Amino acid sequence: MTATQPRRAALALLAAALSFSLMAVCVKTVGRRIPVAEVVLARSLVSLVLCGAMVRAAGLSPWGRRRGLLILRGLIGSIALACVFGALTLLPLATATVLQYLYPSLSALAGWRWLGERIGRRLLLALPLGWLGVLLVCGPAGAATSPLGVLLALAGAALTALAYISVRQLGRTEPAAVIMLYFPLTSLPLCLPFVALDPVLPQGAEWLWLLGVGLFTQLGQMGLTWGLVRLPVAPATALGYSQVPFAALWGWLWFDEGLAPATALGAALILAATLFSLPARQTKRT
């Protein structure tokens, strides 16, 4: 790995966080009427087309080498996404996002336990800062109003941590495009029965919002997967904290959700955690 790759991976992960925050806006907007399974299905269809084109353009086999783990990653990711989408429809945008962001510490611990990745001193500072920011945003000023939404967000966080660990393992043998392709290959069969039981035909601008869900999620997934296979789990997932202030901003601008002082302070701490998680610049030896 060259000296510039860690920083490029960090920038890719920050771009992914921005894309995921815009995806959340689309989900919350269209989720007022369209069932969650249908939103996940639309996202999967867009992903299938784009990932299939990427795999074909690269001349790769779409099936990969470690098919069992690829399928498992797709299943975990699909259920995690459904939980996250459900939480977004039930909770304020910032609250749903920060609850999901309980996963970075879980991912860091899992990366240490199962992948043998070290947690350096910068991350020992970044992770507590991020946790403190999450607690502030979820405090009384931004308390969640839906117990089901909270449960869905927590389940999404736990499953996201597992999905990130599987991506890190798969990145050692599988191209990023193949890893991403397995998400729609597994989520489509999962979603179809639920959509068939409760079909709702999108109307007017809802088609564009559904397209936005697919496009922004795909862009986010591309940056996320590219970054995850080039950085250890702990710093990679700590960078994801930047999605929280993005979500607070969009919630305030688009959904008229208040931005309390505690939320603003929590967002500032989360941004500080993101900066501390960036790899230190390496100096050249002469």
pLDDT digits (tens, 9 = 90+) for 99-124: 777 776 677 767 777 767 776 677 77
Q: Locate 121 and state its tokens.
A: 């001193």
The average pLDDT across 207-211 equals 95
Would you give the DSSP letter of residue 284? P
The average pLDDT across 156-184 equals 87
The pLDDT of residue 177: 87
Nearest to residue 25, comparing CAs of 106, 88, 80? 88
Are 86 and 152 within 8 A, CB to CB? Answer: yes
Q: How far apart are CA 250 and CA 93, in angstroms?
A: 8
pLDDT interval class at 160 (50, 70, 90): confident
Q: Locate 84 and state its tokens.
A: 């996250």
Report the Cα–Cα distance between both ends of the chain, in Å, rounded.
20
Are 241 and 101 within 8 A, CB to CB? Answer: yes
Task: Examine the pLDDT at 282 and tell me if it is beyond 90.
Answer: no
Per-residue pLDDT of 186-207, as tens digits, reads 999 999 999 999 899 999 999 9
Weakest-pLDDT range from 147-156, 171-180, 224-233: 224-233
Q: What percent of the chain has pLDDT over 90?
A: 34
Tallying the residues shown for the chain, one arrives at: 286
pLDDT interval class at 286 (50, 70, 90): very low
pTM of the complete model beyond 0.85: no
Q: How far apart are CA 136 and CA 114, in angstroms?
A: 30
Would you give the DSSP letter of residue 286? -
The average pLDDT across 236-262 equals 79
Q: How far apart are CA 171 and CA 204, in angstroms?
A: 40
CA 92 from centre of chain: 17
Task: Examine the pLDDT at 11 and tell me if it is beyond 80.
Answer: yes
The average pLDDT across 140-148 equals 64
Computed over every residue of the chain, the mean pLDDT equals: 82
Q: Which residue has the higher pLDDT, 132 or 202?
A: 202
The average pLDDT across 12-34 equals 91
Q: How far apart are CA 51 and CA 221, in angstroms?
A: 10
Q: How far apart are CA 88 and CA 27, in angstroms?
A: 7
Q: Locate 92 and state its tokens.
A: 């304020």
Nearest to residue 95, comparing CAs of 263, 272, 239? 263
Q: Which residue has the higher pLDDT, 231 or 24?
A: 24
The average pLDDT across 58-68 equals 91
Task: Examine the pLDDT at 152 and tell me if it is beyond 60.
Answer: yes
The pLDDT of residue 237: 62
The pLDDT of residue 234: 62
The pLDDT of residue 272: 77
Q: Which residue has the higher pLDDT, 193 or 166?
A: 193
Q: Which residue has the higher pLDDT, 19 or 94?
A: 19
Phi/psi-derived region of residue 100, left when phi > 0, alpha when psi is between -120 and 50, beta in every other case? alpha
The pLDDT of residue 79: 95
Per-residue pLDDT of 256-268, as tens digits, reads 887 677 767 877 7
Q: Which residue has the higher pLDDT, 193 or 5?
A: 193
